[in-house]
A = this chain, B = another copy of it.
Amino acid sequence: MKLFSSVNDVQDVPALVAEALRLKQDPFAYKQLGLNKTISLVFLNPSLRTRMSTQKAAMNLGMNVIVLNIDKEGWALELRDGVVMNGTTVEHIREAAAVMGEYSDIIGVRSFPGLKDRDEDYSEAIFNKFVEFCKVPVVSLESATRHPLQSLADLVTIEELKTTSRPKVVLTWAPHIKPLPQAVPNSFAEWMCRADVDFVIAHPAGYELSQEFTSGATITHDQNEALKDADFIYVKNWSAYEPYGNVLPGNEDWMLTNDKLGIAPNAKVMHCLPVRRDLELSSEILDGPRSVVIHEAGNRVWAAQAVLKKILESN
């Protein structure tokens, strides 16, 4: 594997999930594999889980880690070609990415969407330019439209905790006060559509995701119907795809509560975190026995480690 940007970069998804679960049992078994190898984690945006779990995954494999908050410790990057750089950007991504590649065996990149121009965001310009110019394997630490390390950890969690061979998994939209990217739901959807699960997406009218990610899923505006007999309920807010990046009025009643969980007596509740309590998801659920959100966050290490191992092995 030379690139980990989406589920489409993975040849054998079940094998990668199984690898992650094996690494969880024996985290340091491959400490020679990354010896004298350097991963650079480049953040254009804040991060907690991705930052810590990927760092830990790399160290478990014996790698050296360089963390670069390019926006704070470096400077603003120019992304457009063909412009005279007489403004506020200090370095072009062509040079910046190529130089980082000189110092790295693998590069991880986090870059959020602007949520202003859908075509620009969905072209994945920043992430793709890193891939194009850095000349070394690249791992997405969340890009404009996808968060594959999160989705792999989610699938690992479902595989680990499921009590039936083909669980029902429901992605349900949640309220928020700010417009959030579609990266996590897009990515979760495309991974679930490749997994052996019964996958349902529930959201208010107007929050349709792009079809390129949801093909094969059952999609409904009826949250109650969707939740029925669910095995896993994945709670997540996202802003509208059209009008792009908007928060539509209403829908506060989509917050998941214990009351609503009555219809799904065996369901475990997931969330990628950070979560806004009692806005997206009720405290009673987060603090109760149904929530697996911390366990899920813990699995971020093994997802990242499986991906890095795969990349190191194919170098």
Give the chain B neighbours of A28 by CB distance below 8 A: 36
> A91 to B274, alpha carbons, bound, how many Å?
5
Q: Mark A33-52, 1 if CB is under 8 A from B, else 0.
A: 00010101001001111011
Q: A102–B297 contact, CB under 8 A? A: yes
- Assess whether A314 is interfacial by the CB under 8 Å rule: no
Contact residues, A80-136 vs B (CB, 8 A) = 81-86, 90-92, 94-96, 98-100, 102-104
> Which residue of chain B has the shortest Cβ distance to A56 in the bound complex?
B103
Q: Which one of A66, A279, A286 has the highest number of Cβ atoms from chain B below 10 Å of its Cβ? A: A66
Known pairs A68-B52, A102-B301, A294-B95; A85 contacts B276 (CB<8 A): yes
Q: Are A74 and B46 in contact (CB under 8 A)?
A: yes
* B-side contacts of A46, CB under 8 Å: 73-75
A258 close to chain B: CB less than 8 A: no
Interface: A166 (CB within 8 A) = no
A contact patch SS: mixed
- Scan residues 50-81 of chain A and give those whose CB is less than 8 A from a CB of chain B: 51-53, 55-56, 59-60, 64, 66, 68-70, 72-75, 78, 81
Q: Is the CB of A85 within 8 A of B277?
A: yes
Residue A275 CB within 8 A of the other chain: yes
Check A95 against B301 for contact (C-beta < 8 Å): no
A278 near B85: Cβ-Cβ < 8 Å? yes
When all copies of this chain in the complex are counted, the total is 3
Per the bound structure, the CA–CA distance linking A95 and B91 in Å amounts to 35
Q: List the B residue with the shortest CB-CB distance to A276.
A: B85
Q: How far is the CA of A43 from the CA of B301 in the complex (A)?
A: 22
A298 an interface residue at 8 Å Cβ cutoff? yes
A7 within 8 A of B: no
Closest 8 interchain pairs by CB?
Answer: A91-B274, A102-B298, A85-B276, A99-B297, A84-B278, A52-B103, A48-B74, A98-B294
**Apart from A46-B73, A48-B70, A82-B283, 9 more pairs, CB < 8 Å:** A43-B73, A47-B73, A47-B74, A48-B75, A52-B103, A53-B103, A83-B278, A86-B276, A102-B297
Residues of A within 8 A of B (CB): 27-28, 31, 36, 38, 40, 43, 46-49, 51-53, 55-56, 59-60, 64, 66, 68-70, 72-75, 78, 81-86, 90-92, 94-96, 98-100, 102-104, 177, 273-279, 283, 286-287, 293-294, 297-298, 301
